[in-house]
């Protein structure tokens, strides 16, 4: 459940950053592209550290 909550907040935060960033650079805001990028970073920042911690505890 902790990972799901983190992913929701990461997606929301990246959507806000994507909207503001596209406004500042005067480019087109593409929510699908921002969603994909936020999910990739969300997995990296939430699931990977947990799995690495499990691996280090085994050794």
Digit-coded pLDDT (tens) for 2-57 = 888 989 999 999 999 999 999 999 999 999 999 999 999 998 988 888 888 888 88
Residue 11 pLDDT: 94
Domain boundaries, the chain: 2-58
Q: Which two tokens stand for residue 46?
A: 């939430």
Closest to 18 measured CA to CA, from 9, 8, 28:
28
Position 59 pLDDT exceeds 80? no
Reference 35, options 51, 16, 6, 14; nearest CA is 14
């Amino acid at each position: 459940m902790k990972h799901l909550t983190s992913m929701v907040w990461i997606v929301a935060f990246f959507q806000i950053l994507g909207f503001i960033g596209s406004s500042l650079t005067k480019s087109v805001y593409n929510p699908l592209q921002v969603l994909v990028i936020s999910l990739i970073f969300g997995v990296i920042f939430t699931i990977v550290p947990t799995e690495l911690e499990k691996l280090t505890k085994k050794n």
